[in-house]
Structure 1
Amino acid sequence: MTDEDSNVLLLNAQDIHDCTDITGLLDVLARGYRASARTPDKVPARHVIEHPAHQAFSLFMPAVLPESQIMGIKVSSFFPGNSRRGLPAINGAVLLLEPDTGRLQAMLDGSALTALRTAAMSALVTDRLCPLAQPTLAVLGAGVQARAHIRAIAAIRTLRWVRVVARDMDRCRAFALTMSEQIGVPVEAVKSVAQALVDADIVCTTTSHDTSSPLVMAHQLKPGVHINAIGGSTVHACEVDPGLLGQALIHVDDPQAAMRESGEISQALARSLITPTQVMGLEALLQEPALSWVAATSYFRCVGHASQDMLVARHLYAAALERQLGKRCDYLTSSRKNLTQVRGQHAPNGEG
């Protein structure tokens, strides 16, 4: 191992964007999910620390994936008031560790990785549940997750048009213009959720909604629509009408977590609109070759799972090494050497 190999690789948001291949990432996530069904991963329940004074919370999510030889932890905080300070609402980092030694291999921007992972999971499920080759897309929100979802869905489908709605109309218009230039598809900023949903084949909700009053009502949606529910980060938040779930195929990345943490699912269960057996994981959906699903209204809630973050982190790490992206940091190694030298100078007989 060379000195450079022992350095930590730092990947910021731009590095992550530059080494992202959505198609390749979808294959990695699908294989990883199937592998976890064969060999249970060592993924403890994520630890949540709430910050009531800021109506915020922090997540600590470790994972060891034996079959994939991956180990690491994600630390992520959600502070909704950050927008008033000109800061991102989601901040954090993913630490990727060498499974044979425990050595820190890489540190990746947590916000960028989370957006990419979430959008990739949505695209993976959408690819199986939306049979249309040229669908239309409605997106609620104009932030990091909205951007990542538009890019990811555009990578798996030839979109006819995209409509975006957000609280700030000026920001929404600027966002729509930027996204239209990036994906080469008409992206329109509209003034209401109802306008955005008209004739939409795919809906992505990526908001910071925090109340039990739904943003998306069942009567606003066409039959056979597919919904990726992403925002609404607490169990009290409902982006989508829980009544819709009784009429839809429900898929989640983590059934137990979804029943605890998803506002729509917990409300639908509490009102006996659905049963726990209807909240399905992705095992059958991600079988290879893909099953032929009957076109139907479908709903996917991604609550997030540390195994997904680690799979994405390892994929990005390998891509960054291949493309020589990111920055090497020898600060930890240098500090350790310097500390040894200092101790040697002060210890009697050279003993520290």
Structure 2
Amino acid sequence: MLILTEKDVESLVTFQEIIDINEQVFIKQSKKEVNCPNRIIIGLKDKGNSYFKPALVDDMAVGLKVVSSVPSNQDRGLPNTPATVMLLDPESGVVQCLISATYLTGLRTAAGSAIATKYMAREDTSVMVVFGSGIQADLHIRMILLVRSCIKTVYISSRTVEKVDVLIKELASLYKNVEFINSSAFNVKEVIGKADIIVGASSSKSPLFSGNDVKEGTHLCLVGTSLPDAREIDSVTMVRSKVIVDDYNSCIMAGDISIPIKEGLIDKSHILSELGDLLTGGINPRLLDSNCITLYKSSGTAIQDIATGSLLYQKALQSKTGQFIDMNGK
């Protein structure tokens, strides 16, 4: 069995490779070439939750992701969402690889948003607004800049202003032609009104801005929460948007969508399709109306974890990265 650490994961692949493998697996999803049972959630008393998410991707991999959400971990110097991916040999069922998957989770989530942005955002985007300052915000900025290199200004807003300053310093050293602005203390209405792309990668439980301030033609990516009682946008934003999701069954339960449904403002048909169906020729709202507001909601799907993990495993074998342990040794 091969063991890959977070450091190993960061060294093995490029962002473009991650985007490519995730686009492939969403296409497989549309073609029914995956098996992704509903996740199992186990509460950790009042500390948080652990999620067990199995998946099989035809001709690629089978495995399980275990991820927890424990907000108090930041006081322990640990990730708030520690994760591990386990890959199995599809022939024998023997464990092939264990991957420390906190960074992997960030990679695959940002890749999903980048794919959605590639197909749904306007080609002439120049301003992106990002809510959040953690790994998700960081990776979303980097991957979206890959698919929309026309972006010239990125506003970053977070309750932890100091973390935004650190993130901006790092990003500014990598992207010389992009202006990064800490907008944490700015008037939210003014910033949102400029946005061509809005990314919600925060831990907020209540709407971050008013949907009345979102201009026509904007594209949104929401990844911050999948809880039924939490949301990053208000109902006005959801009503105004043409919605694509990564996984229907998970997203229909997320507060961004479930709350306006309970309010009677939308119904389940407001979700146009899953991302995979869009990639295989389904309705793309941007092609029908260039001025519409498009929205990609992600609650996370294990097919992305397993496909991304499989790529990392293959790259690790090629580069002889990681540590092998003989589980059957005596």
- TM-score if structure 2 supplies the norm length? 0.91
Which segments of 5 or more consecutive residues in structure 2 lack a partner in the other structure? none
Give 1:201's aligned residue.
196
Q: Once the 2 structures are TM-superposed, how far is the Cα of residue 298 of structure 1 from its aligned partner?
A: 0.9
Deviations 1:234-255 (A, max 9, x none): 1110111122111111010111
Give 1:244's aligned residue.
237
1:9 and 2:5 matched: no
Give 2:161's aligned residue.
169
Contact 1:28–1:311, Cα closer than 8 Å, also in 2? yes
1:216 and 2:212 matched: no
Q: Once the 2 structures are TM-superposed, how far is the Cα of residue 109 of structure 1 from its aligned partner?
A: 1.7
Q: In structure 2, which of residues 309, 313, 316 is the aligned counterpart of residue 313 of structure 1? A: 309
Q: Which amino acid aligns with 2:158?
A: A
1:148 and 2:139 matched: yes
Contact 2:55–2:63, Cα closer than 8 Å, also in 1? yes
1:106 and 2:97 matched: yes
Contact 2:125–2:196, Cα closer than 8 Å, also in 1? no
CA distance in 2, matches of 1:196, 1:20: 34
Contact 1:235–1:266, Cα closer than 8 Å, also in 2? yes
Q: In structure 2, which of residues 34, 45, 48 is the aligned counterpart of residue 41 of structure 1? A: 34
Give 1:73's aligned residue.
64
CA distance in 2, matches of 1:314, 1:177: 33
Contact 1:136–1:162, Cα closer than 8 Å, also in 2? yes
Contact 1:139–1:196, Cα closer than 8 Å, also in 2? no
**Residues 289, 249 of structure 1: CA spacing in aligned structure 2 closer, same or farther, 3 A cutoff?**
closer
**Residues 186, 12 of structure 1: CA spacing in aligned structure 2 closer, same or farther, 3 A cutoff?**
farther
Give 2:296's aligned residue.
300
1:327 and 2:318 matched: no
Q: In structure 2, which of residues 2, 8, 17 is the aligned counterpart of residue 24 of structure 1? A: 17
Deviates more, 1:67-76 or 1:24-33: 24-33
Contact 1:194–1:220, Cα closer than 8 Å, also in 2? yes
Give 2:82's aligned residue.
91
Q: In structure 2, which of residues 263, 280, 284 is the aligned counterpart of residue 287 of structure 1? A: 280
Q: Once the 2 structures are TM-superposed, how far is the Cα of residue 288 of structure 1 from its aligned partner?
A: 5.8
Q: Once the 2 structures are TM-superposed, how far is the Cα of residue 289 of structure 1 from its aligned partner?
A: 10
Give 1:117's aligned residue.
108
Q: Once the 2 structures are TM-superposed, how far is the Cα of residue 28 of structure 1 from its aligned partner?
A: 2.3
CA distance in 1, matches of 2:122, 2:41: 37
Give me the identity figure in percent: 26
**Residues 88, 196 of structure 1: CA spacing in aligned structure 2 closer, same or farther, 3 A cutoff?**
farther
Give 2:50's aligned residue.
58
Residue 60 of structure 1 aligns to a residue in which SS?
Answer: strand
Structure 1 runs of 4+ with >3 Å offset: 192-196, 288-293
**Residues 289, 217 of structure 1: CA spacing in aligned structure 2 closer, same or farther, 3 A cutoff?**
closer
Residue 116 of structure 1 aligns to a residue in which SS?
Answer: helix
Which segments of 5 or more consecutive residues in structure 1 lack a partner in the other structure? 1-7, 339-352
Contact 1:165–1:196, Cα closer than 8 Å, also in 2? no
Q: Which amino acid aligns with 1:150?
A: I
